[in-house]
Structure 1
Amino acid sequence: MKILGISGSPRKGQNCEKMIGSVLELAKEKGFETDSVLLSTSEVGLCKACGACRERDFCVIEDDMEEIYEKMRTSDGIIVAAPVYMGNYPAQLKALFDRSVLLRRKDFALKNKVGAALSIGGSRNGGQEKTIQSIHDWMHIHGMIVVGDNAHFGGVAWNPVEEDAVGMQTVIETAKKLCDVLELIEKK
């Protein structure tokens, strides 16, 4: 089974990429195949709501989304990490989410994949739960199975993540839950 980690931050090598790195390392240790999408190095243009994807199996905007669509289609689980920008996730992640409508229109390609969310803010209560809820909303729109960290909504960390032991524990617990649910599904 394969887990895709998506870092929704435009900042290369920073908190979200560190969280995704930790999550994917844990998944590898548990025997999962892993892949990642880093929005800091990906070109994802804004959806123009042109409707072309209703008629085609591809988006007419030429950027990195075709590769991202394939990674999303071939994954069994998706974990998204996002920083809090003005109370929610950044525009770069919103662009990816908007463009994912193609996958919904094409037979709900993300339906029944397991999803989880992580967020980091500038303070302990810096908007992370709202950001996670917004990510969960996107997952529900696609018909995904959404999991948290066994006690809350998902991984909630405080900047800088490497100094936040409590936050990193919620990140790790969220990753464990994602892996556990995928293993349960595989047994059926």
Structure 2
Amino acid sequence: MKNILLLTTTPTAGGNGDALIAAAKEEAEKNGAEIHLVNIREKQIGFCRACYGCAETGVCVQKDDFMDILHLAHEADVIIAEAPVYYNCMAAQMMTVINRLCCTFACKSYQIGPKKRVGIFLTCSGSDPEEMKRHVRNIVTLPSVSRTISDYRTEVFTNCNSTSTCQDTPEYLERAKAVARWALEA
């Protein structure tokens, strides 16, 4: 049984990101995956302080919810994460999570979990999908991140001009399910 972490960083409960994650979750459940769903909007995660307090132990000095999420990520065989795009880049909620990965490269003895497939859903109103995929590629190919990723797939969902666009677009929901199938097949 595959262990899958579904991570949503949308601040809008019941909106586009949640609809895509729900579709992926439905598909993962059909395939017998063990599922952990984390809504970042329900967590307290501070910004990375670049203090390098984690350099010795790999544990961030901040006492918030991040280390629990990082533990789930390490245990996962698959991660599917969702982020809205604001002003042509991933929203601050996702970037905060990514920036907190500092502990994974600051600590030289840091132990990572198994290599995993990662699916990324980006929702936007009009950003160029290829440019958004380039942003993701720039992050997932960083040496500190890529050493734990066996493969990744990015889907950009455009024209999300209302909070129900993805929920009301069967093609979008099917694309989210297809990513879940792809991620679980390895």
Q: Name the TM tier (shorter chain).
A: 0.7 to 0.9
Q: State the Cα deviation string for residues 12-52 of structure 1 (Å, max 9, x = none).
A: 22211221121112111101101122111111110011001
Q: State the Cα deviation string for residues 103-122 of structure 1 (Å, max 9, x = none).
A: 34454615621111111112
Q: Where in structure 2 are there 5+ consecutive unaligned residues? A: none
Matched residue, 2:104: 103
The share of aligned pairs that are identical, in percent, is 20
Aligned Cα RMSD in Å?
2.0
Matched residue, 2:116: 113
The total of aligned residue pairs comes to: 175
Distance 1:158 1:168 in 2: 14
Contact 2:74–2:113 at 8 Å: present in 1 too? Answer: yes
**Runs ≥4 residues deviating over 6 A:** none
Quick check: 30-39 or 107-116, which moved more?
Answer: 107-116
Q: So what's the TM-score if we normalise by structure 1?
A: 0.83
Distance 2:137 2:8 in 1: 15
Report the alpha carbon displacement of residue 6 of structure 1 after superposing the two structures with TM.
0.9
1:164 to 2:165 alignment: no
Contact 2:4–2:76 at 8 Å: present in 1 too? Answer: yes
Which has the higher relative contact order, 1 or 2, with Cα contacts under 8 A spaced 6 or more apart? 2
Matched residue, 1:12: 13
Report the alpha carbon displacement of residue 176 of structure 1 after superposing the two structures with TM.
1.3
Distance 1:21 1:176 in 2: 14
Give the 5 Å matches for 1:22-33.
22-33=23-34
Distance 1:133 1:34, change over 3 A: farther
Distance 1:4 1:23 in 2: 11
Distance 1:64 1:154 in 2: 27
Q: Where in structure 1 are there 5+ consecutive unaligned residues? A: 182-188
Q: So what's the TM-score if we normalise by structure 2?
A: 0.84
Contact 2:10–2:40 at 8 Å: present in 1 too? Answer: yes
Give the 5 Å matches for 1:1-188.
1-104=2-105, 105=107, 107=110, 109=112, 112-123=115-126, 126-141=127-142, 142-143=145-146, 144-148=149-153, 153-154=154-155, 156-159=157-160, 160-181=165-186
Q: Secondary structure at the match of 1:62?
A: coil
- Give the letter aligned to residue 52 of structure 2: G
Contact 1:84–1:119 at 8 Å: present in 2 too? Answer: yes
